[in-house]
Every structure is written in C-alpha cells, then in structure tokens.
Amino acid sequence: MSPKLKILPLNDWIDTNGLPLIISGPCSAESEYQLLKTARQLAETNKLHVFRAGIWKPRSRPNDFEGVGEQGLIWLKKVKEETGLLTTVEVADAKHVELALKHDVDILWIGARTVVNPFSVQAIAETLAGVDIPVMIKNPVNPDIKLWLGAIERMNAIGINKLIAIHRGFHYFEKSPFRNAPMWEIPIELKRIAPRLPIIVDPSHICGKQNLIESISQKALDLEMDGLMIESHFDPDNALTDAAQQITPKYLQKMLERLVIRHKRGDLDFQHKLEELRTEVDKLDGELMQILSKRMELIDEIGEYKRENDITILQMKRWAGIIADRMSIGTHMGLDKVFLKKLLTLIHKESIQRQEDIFRKK
C-alpha cells in the first residue's frame, strides 16, 4: 500500500496557531436554542476552531431520533455568523452534500457507517467533483485500514486535497471499557503510510462515556495526532443522542487546559510496535475477564446444586486437588509459584464467598 495522495498541509487552510485542531459541538443539532446556546458557550472558551453538529443521524433503529435535517443547516449558518466559528456536518449521500454546500457549511465529514461502503463514498466523491471544500473521513466501524485509506483516496482522486482522517475507534469484542476500541496501531500505521495526511482523534466515540475522554485525548496528543473532535452539549444529560459521552463546554475548556501538548517527534515504527503489543494485551485482559466471569457463573451453579442436595460448601479434598493440579499446569507454563498460589487462593476465596451468599439467600 503506497498511496499517491496530494494533501495540502492543515495549516495552509486552517489557522490553529501551531496548536492541535479542536472541533466540538453536539452529537446532533436538536433545536435552534440548543445549537446556539452550545455554540455560544463553546466560542467563549476561545479554544475552538470548528463547530460540529450532526444534522442527519445514522441510527440503528428507525424510530430513534434521526436528526433535524435541512433546518439544522439554517441554525448552523447562524452559529457561523454569530461566533465566527467554521462549521462541519456529517454527509452520507449526494443529497446531504448538495444541501450542505447550499447552506455554506465549511467542512464536510463522512461517518464511520458510510465509510464501510465504497459505493456511498464514491457517490459523495462524484458530487464533490470540482468543489473546493475540506473533507474529514472517519475510520470505518470495522478495523480495516484499506477501507479507510480507500475512502481517502476516492476523495483525493476527484480533487479534494484538504483532507483529514478522523480516528473514532473500532467495533471490537464485547467486554471493553470503550464503546469503540482505540487500536492505536491502525491510525499509527495510517500515519506511517500517508505521513502528510492530518489525523485527528474523536475521543467521544472511542470512549462512549465522559470519564475516559481526557485520558484518550492526552493519549492522542502524546501520539502526535493533529487534533481532537469532541462532542459537547450545554445540557449533556438531556441530549437526544449520545448523552453519556457528551461534555459541557466548560468541562471541555478545563480539560483542554489540563492537556499537555508535547512537541517531541517520536519514532513511528517504535510506537506502532508498542501499540500492537498493547492491543494484544488489552484483548487478552478482556478474555481473562470473560473466563473469570464464566468460572464464577459455574461456581454459582455448583453452589445452587450443593444447597439443593445439602452438601457443605468447602470440600477440602477437592480444593487440595485443585491447588496441586493448577500449580503444576501453571508452573509448567512459566508462571511464578508464589504468584500462582496467591492467584488461586484469591479465586478460591471469591468462589467460597459467592457460594456462601447463595446459601444465605435461601
């Protein structure tokens, strides 16, 4: 994969004063009041370059809130006139593109669900032929760098050279603290193969909840990403979409003030390898949790069975057998004896506790 991309440097078309590009605004435009109130509060922070809002929302089920449509673009224009902020919306088809252009939206973005479909990306690209507008391209929902790069190449091929890739995480195995696993090695690989392409990070969709956003934002800056797109709302609790992950403009301001911007140029190959290994560790930890939780479910089942049959919880002979057996397996696999003993004792203690709870409940 060696794409021949013609990319204009970010600072040639947007002035961030050498700082990371900051984009914020609500997941969805809900009303003129909500949009303007959020935008005013964001503008007051003096930290923002671009205001975002979803006008057409890709939702899993048909009766969920699907966005306000074209009227949102009229409100967005008011935001621009009042605050001076650039504006950006998600477009998923040719009609969206035409309407966004008609209402002077400054930057378009293509969402994760659209990037998975090359037909859709191509249709958007064809509508943009001859138009000079920046386009941001989110990674596809699934961890496929070719699809992501392919969408960027399609845009570039019709002449869009103001391009930004947005890393918003990937759908992964079930149990993870993240809504979308970051898999940092993928954006790092994109950076390696397309070094001139700016990449910003969307911690909101990676995290899915407020409390992880700061650490993911710091991580993005530590990996020399070019900016952040973070969802914000003047009243996150009552947001119509993605309520758990939106933050207030004030919170955003405080958080941005705490973030450390490092200027050191890192070694991409080193970072890539490190992130690959860390992703593997994350995956194994997830599996470890699943195995432990499955083991405890079985322990509960045994507890019920013992109770029904009037058998005591602790059976010393069985436990001594378990210890000897697991110690032998574990030490053969290279695990430390003392560590193993501690781990097995801890698991056993928890198992006894759970069965005692079952006996007590009845």
Indicate the DSSP class of residue 54: B
Q: Rounded to the nearest whole angstrom, what is the least distance from the CB of residue 59 to Mn ion in the complex?
A: 10
Nearer to ligand PEP, 38 or 351 (CB): 38
Nearest-angstrom CA–CA distance, 325 and 331: 10
Segment interacting with ligand PEP, rule: CB under 6 A, options 6-14, 107-115, 207-215, 337-345: 107-115
Dihedral angle, C-alpha 70, 76, 80, 82, nearest 10 °: 120
Q: What angle do CA 190, 177, 273 make, to 5 degrees?
A: 35
The contacts of residue 208 (CB under 8 Å, 6+ apart) are 178, 179, 180, 244, 245
**Partner from ligand PEP, Mn ion, none contacting 233, C-beta within 5 to 8 A by type:** none
Q: Rounded to the nearest whole angstrom, what is the least distance from the CB of residue 39 to Mn ion in the complex?
A: 17
Contact 228, 247 (CB under 8 A): no
Q: Rounded to the nearest whole angstrom, what is the least distance from the CB of residue 155 to Mn ion in the complex?
A: 22
Contact 256, 22 (CB under 8 A): yes
Binding to ligand PEP by residue 182, rule CB under 6 A? no
Binding to ligand PEP by residue 233, rule CB under 6 A? no
Report the residue number whose CB is nearest to ligand PEP.
111
Binding to ligand PEP by residue 179, rule CB under 6 A? no
**Partner from Mn ion, ligand PEP, none contacting 111, C-beta within 5 to 8 A by type:** ligand PEP
Nearest-angstrom CA–CA distance, 181 and 170: 5
Segment interacting with ligand PEP, rule: CB under 6 A, options 106-114, 183-191, 232-240, 338-346: 106-114
Residue from 49, 162, 167, 205 in contact with ligand PEP (CB under 6 A): 205
Nearer to ligand PEP, 210 or 351 (CB): 210
> How many Cα neighbours within 13 Å face the side chain of 51?
32
Binding to ligand PEP by residue 191, rule CB under 6 A? no
**Partner from Mn ion, ligand PEP, none contacting 138, C-beta within 5 to 8 A by type:** ligand PEP
Question: End-to-end CA distance of the chain, in Å?
Answer: 63
Residues of this chain, 39-68, that bind ligand PEP according to CB under 6 A: 54, 58
Binding to ligand PEP by residue 35, rule CB under 6 A? no
Interface residues with Mn ion (CB under 5 A) are 27, 242
Coil/strand/helix, residue 228: strand
Angstrom CA distances, 229 to 48, 70, 75, 88, 226, stand at 10, 23, 20, 11, 10
Nearest-angstrom CA–CA distance, 41 and 229: 16
Both structure tokens of 209? 């909840």
Build a one-symbol-per-residue string for 148-177: x at contacts with ligand PEP by CB under 6 A, - elsewhere: --------------------x---------
Query: What residues line the site for ligand PEP (CB under 6 A)?
Result: 27, 54, 58, 111-113, 138, 168, 205
